[in-house]
Amino acid sequence: MVESLEGTASPDLCPPHSEIFFIVVEVLDGFWWPVHVRGGERGRPEHVPTDENRQKIAICLALGWTQKRIADERGISLKTLRKHYSPQLKARDVALDRLKVERLSVIVDQARGGNVGALKELGKVIDAVEAATFGMGPAAGEQRELREPRVNLGKKEQAQLAAADAGAGTEWGEDLQPPLLN
């Protein structure tokens, strides 16, 4: 929270612009984490679980992190993690599935809105599910055409290829072929 001296009752009482300053109530450490400054109270403040922390813990569980690693990342003890986030910890087995469903729902919402990239990604997901479930290829058993890898040739290589078949199928065909050396 930030308080300001701007907007005092009288413009005459307001200091000049160069003297306006802000008082920061919340102190942040080097990584922008809030540092709780307690006024004379002993001990550490009680941890308050937030929806943001619950979501981040669920993501960490979906990524397969250990409880110790999650607690260290959140800056809390293992005991505090287990005390405040036990429902999320119990749902470890389904955390990855929930994350995938959330990702897919975002893709579907964007595809409905006309996002071409989301439509392509949705097509890839559907193709992968069909292939895994039914053993099918991309579109109901159809095979996608495989392109030859494109080779970039320099000017000299292009000229040599053009000279090799120059005049083929014309009356000049034989005359334009380079002579064979013995």
Q: What is the pLDDT of residues 60-114, one digit of tens each?
A: 998 889 999 999 999 899 999 999 999 889 888 888 888 889 999 999 999 999 9
Contacts 24+ apart (CB under 8 A), 105-110: none
7 in Cβ contact with 31 (< 8 Å) = no
User: Is 0.75 topped by the overall pTM?
Assistant: no
26 in any annotated domain: yes
118 in any annotated domain: no
Could you give the number of structural domains in the chain? 1
Considering only residues 138 and 49, tell me which one the structure prediction assigns the higher pLDDT: 49
- Containing domain of residue 27, as a range? 2-35
24 in any annotated domain: yes
127 in any annotated domain: no
108 in any annotated domain: no
pLDDT in tens, 61-75: 988 899 999 999 998
